[in-house]
Structure 1
Amino acid sequence: MKESVLVIGSGHRHFREYALRGLAEAFRLVLIGPAPLDWQLPYVADHRTADVEDAAAVHAAAADLAAEHPVTGVVTWDESLVTHTAEVAARLGVPAMPVAAAQACRDKARQRERFRAAGVPSARFALAASEAEAVRAAESLVFPVVLKPRGRAASIGVRIVHSETELRETFAQVQEVENPSIEDGLVLVEEFLSGPEIAVDSWVLDGRVEPFSIAAKRTDYPPYFEEVAHVAGRVLDPATEARVREVVIAANRALGTDRTITHTELILTSDGPKVVEVNGRLGGDLIPRLAELAVPGLSVGRVLGTVATGRVPEPIAAPEGVVGIRFLYPATDLAFTRLELPSALADEPWVHEVRTVTETGTELCLPPRGFLGRAGYAIATGDDIAVIDARLLKLAEAAAVHGEPLPS
């Protein structure tokens, strides 16, 4: 019989079904989610419904499931549930991500402190409780600086500021979008790192860190850092890739991550790769799915379940090509009705998939009024990163997002 793995939270179908499916192919899944199961049903042997943001409710549901199913691994790919998941595993006596490592993955300031102590290349930083403190920190770091919520993901609320005036105009906005898990009101003020952005997914087990997916990140809507595209596969030259791997391994070891897949974000500065943050779960925005498309036979869900249950995964081959995703946004804030892409373009052999991910009537707002206001996405394949970038831009320019304009 397959081993039982407890999954806490399943996420959005369009962005996480591939992971749940891959996990279910190798393991018997029991799941805790906030609502009765729907699309998850084919993959799950048993489940409990609970408020996943309520630690006590999650612990009770986990204990109930574990009483009926001997659980040998506990996983999540939901950013907000990383700490809950580590705590559940500890209560069940199942080896998993250490709670302290999970807490560090949820607090970017705590990460910075550990990186500094371990000598991991990262940004200089300070914490600020007020505009005045933030101004003093920025003057010490030298403008431009980055203001950042400590507990958010997907670059939500992250803002580059070039002057004291911009900082004072922005500080309260960054505080307001902070994750409720960060209660002290302190905002992270960071040195601005200049260079290409990349993201690395790695499996970690008993101190071993194995990067298996490297993706280039594309952002837009300055001065914000909205993530609009990713390109995975062979995106770095061998020398840069080797250095990136060294830094990623050092960053994960500094945090003590274990028995999971982590998502490490870096900037390729003129002084070498520097870590932006480590997330204690697999990458979002379908980055791991891009890795699967670039490496035939790779199942990220299977890899996650394997390390979660304490075993070393099978070797993962190098990517054969390059695969990219572009998220499709409206030209202005609107209540979504439909997404259109010219059929001649959608039928191109290099277009792997075009998908709408937004319900009719959903309000899609662009930064700073809203973040992640995506109507859908398109995935393209190609031989190199320059070709992929051009194809993704073509798809974005041709896509038409329709809806009812929202009042300004």
Structure 2
Amino acid sequence: MNNKYVILVSPRDNEAQLVQEYGYKTILLRKEISFDEIFDVDVPVEMDLNNEEAVLEKCLQLADQLDIISVFTMNEYRIPLASKISEELKLQYQLPYEASLRCRNKKMARQKLNEAGVGKVQYRLVNSQSDLEAELQDIDFPLIVKPSNDSGSKNVYLCKDKVEVSTALQNIVQSKKNIVGQSIDTDILIEEFLDGPEYSIESVTVNGQTTVLGITKKLVTPYPLSIEVGHDFPANLNADEEREIRSLVEQSLAVLGVDFTVTHSEVKLTKKGPRIVEVNARPGGDEIPHLVRAVTGIDLKALAFLVTLGRGIDSLTLSSSTVPSASIRFLLANQEGKLSFDEQFQSPEIKEQKWYAKNGQVVKRTESNFDRLGYFIVYGDEQNSSSTKVTSLEKGLAISIKNPLEI
């Protein structure tokens, strides 16, 4: 192993193992480091990551002692911090800090895209009820109301009138911090409802050149909840739709200043054409990298690390075993209560299956991507697509939730 180091900023996946497999040593930055993690990395550093000044000072100290070549994270909340550290250390290949902020904050992204005339979307910013009457002039209902810088579809509301907008604002302003203790932007985003099917675009940008690696069809619950219940890869689009979506994403990433990163952009295909919902400067979550690798052979997570070294797809070892399509379906709780499912439910078609809750456990109603019950993944073949197979399997998986009053 060489003596070059990679800083890992509060990793959420297998970042440490991935970096080590490429022969680099690891520095872990995390608020609290578990006993096992201490032995999994070379330099464990426990500190408050919300204290940006202290983190930057510590990283500069480490850079005086060690040969640091990359700062890497796939943690949505920590991407701007990783970019800031990269800038402070003057690393050559980095996602620009300003671009990381635009990708993290939906308000900033919408402002930049509208200024450039790329997929314009009507929007307003409010931070109190007193702003509401004036800001809702000349904008048509229904409207989407959401925090500027939260994630996981948390506190996203479809509102049909001013009363519903007011209620949504009331709920959002009560959330002062996100799950990692960062302040929620006081500007709340109100924008036109983008009506149409939803897709995510998995891309990589190196030296300002974006390559679209594939388009995923997203299955989402009807509003007001907007929970992602499944993904199909690749999406079944006609040539014109695919071309329009690719063009929009490429233009949007350029306008936002994105570089040296893998991105996961969410798009609605409306009657006016495709429109950006949000852009994330990381690989997609919800096992989308699994689906992409199964079909294309491309490991998005490995690629996300390699671009921090200035390397692109050509440096990847592609998986030689691929399938025509892959799908994932998430399992939701339609009410609060005691969960019951068949633990023996199996099928040779299921390639991966995971439960987040145990049989007999009392679960709350699924209201965001953070409180789903589990998932399973299916591959397609030449005869049947993965979406066809997964729909059939769903019918055989019986889940019941007894209301607490019935237990």
The alpha carbon displacement at 1:219 in A equals 1.3
- Correspondence for 1:212: 213
Residue pairs, 1:107-118, within 5 angstroms: 107-118=105-116
Alpha-carbon distance in 2 for matches of 1:303, 1:323: 20
Structure 2: stretches of 5+ with no match in the other structure: none
Tell me which of 159, 162, 169 is aligned to 2:167: 169
Partner of 1:231: 232
Aligned counterparts of 2:35 and 2:293: Cα–Cα separation in 1: 25
8 Å CA contact 2:333–2:366 kept in 1: the answer is: no
Determine the C-alpha separation between the residues in 1 that align with 2:158 and 2:143. 6
- The whole-number CA distance in structure 2 between the counterparts of 1:263 and 1:278 is 6
Map 1:5-404 → 2, pairs under 5 A: 5-11=6-12, 16-17=13-14, 21-28=17-24, 29-37=26-34, 44-63=41-60, 65-95=62-92, 96-177=94-175, 179=177, 181=182, 185-220=186-221, 222-296=223-297, 298-314=298-314, 320-334=323-337, 340-341=341-342, 343=344, 346=346, 348-358=347-357, 364-366=363-365, 372-383=370-381, 387-396=385-394, 398-400=397-399
Quick check: 2:228–2:369 contact (8 Å CA) kept in 1? no
Residue 327 of structure 1 aligns to which amino acid in structure 2?
Answer: F
Tell me how far 1:137 sits from its aligned partner: 3.5
- Contact 1:151–1:179 (Cα < 8 Å) also in 2: no
- 2 CA distance for matches of 1:40 and 1:291? 29
Q: Shift of residue 23 of structure 1?
A: 4.1
- Whether the aligned pair in 2 keeps the contact of 1:22 and 1:299 (CA below 8 Å) is no
Choose 221-230 or 49-58, whichever is displaced more.
49-58
Shift of 1:98: 1.4
Deviation track 1:52-84 (CA, whole Å, cap 9, x = no partner) reads: 333245335534544454121212111111211
Runs of 5+ in structure 1 lacking a partner? none
CA distance in structure 2 between the aligned counterparts of 1:309 and 1:379, rounded to whole angstroms: 32
**Residue aligned with 2:167, SS:** helix
Q: C-alpha deviations, 1:72-99, integer Å up to 9, x for none?
A: 1212111111211111112222231211
Give me the whole-angstrom Cα distance separating, in 1, the residues matched to 2:28 and 2:66: 11
Letter in 1 for 2:325: V
- Look at both structures and tell me which one has the larger radius of gyration over its CA atoms: 2
Q: Which amino acid aligns with 2:31?
A: P
| Structure 1 stretch displaced more, 125-134 or 264-273 | 125-134
- What is the alpha-carbon distance in structure 2 between the residues aligned to residue 21 and residue 175 of structure 1? 39
Shift of 1:215: 1.1
Between the aligned residues of both structures, percent identity stands at: 24
C-alpha distance in 2, partners of 1:361/1:268? 40
Aligned-residue offset at 1:262: 1.5
Worse overlay, 97-106 or 178-187: 178-187
Look up the SS of the partner of 2:371 in the other structure.
Answer: coil
Distance in 2, matches of 1:117 and 1:207, equals 20
Matched AA of 2:206: L
For residue 331 of structure 2, what is the amino acid of its counterpart? Answer: L
Query: Helix, strand or coil for the counterpart of 1:71?
Result: strand
Distance 2:272 2:192 in 1: 14
Q: CA deviation at 1:216?
A: 1.2
Deviations 1:214-240 (A, max 9, x none): 211111163121122122225333332
Q: How many residues align?
A: 396
SS of residue in 2 equivalent to 1:123: coil
CA displacement at 1:254 relative to structure 2: 0.8
For CA contacts below 8 A with separation 6 or more, give which structure has more relative contact order. Answer: 1
* Closer/same/farther in 2, CA of residues 358 and 60 from structure 1, 3 Å limit: farther
Q: Deviations over 1:290-340 (max 9, x none)?
A: 2112223x222321122111123318889742211112223322477xx74
Q: Within 2, Cα distance between the matches of 1:122 and 1:156?
A: 24
For the residues of structure 2 that align with 1:284 and 1:121, how far apart are their CA atoms? Answer: 24
Aligned residues of 1:144 and 1:191 also touching (Cα < 8 A): yes
Assess if the C-alpha contact under 8 Å between 1:26 and 1:302 holds in 2.
no
- Separation of aligned partners in 1, 2:348 and 2:126: 51
The alpha carbon displacement at 1:206 in A equals: 2.1
The letter of the residue matching 1:331 is N
Task: Confirm or deny: 8 A CA contact 1:50 1:61 kept in the other structure.
Answer: no
| 8 Å CA contact retained: 1:147, 1:160 | yes
- Taking the aligned partners of 2:208 and 2:258, their CA distance within structure 1 comes to 8
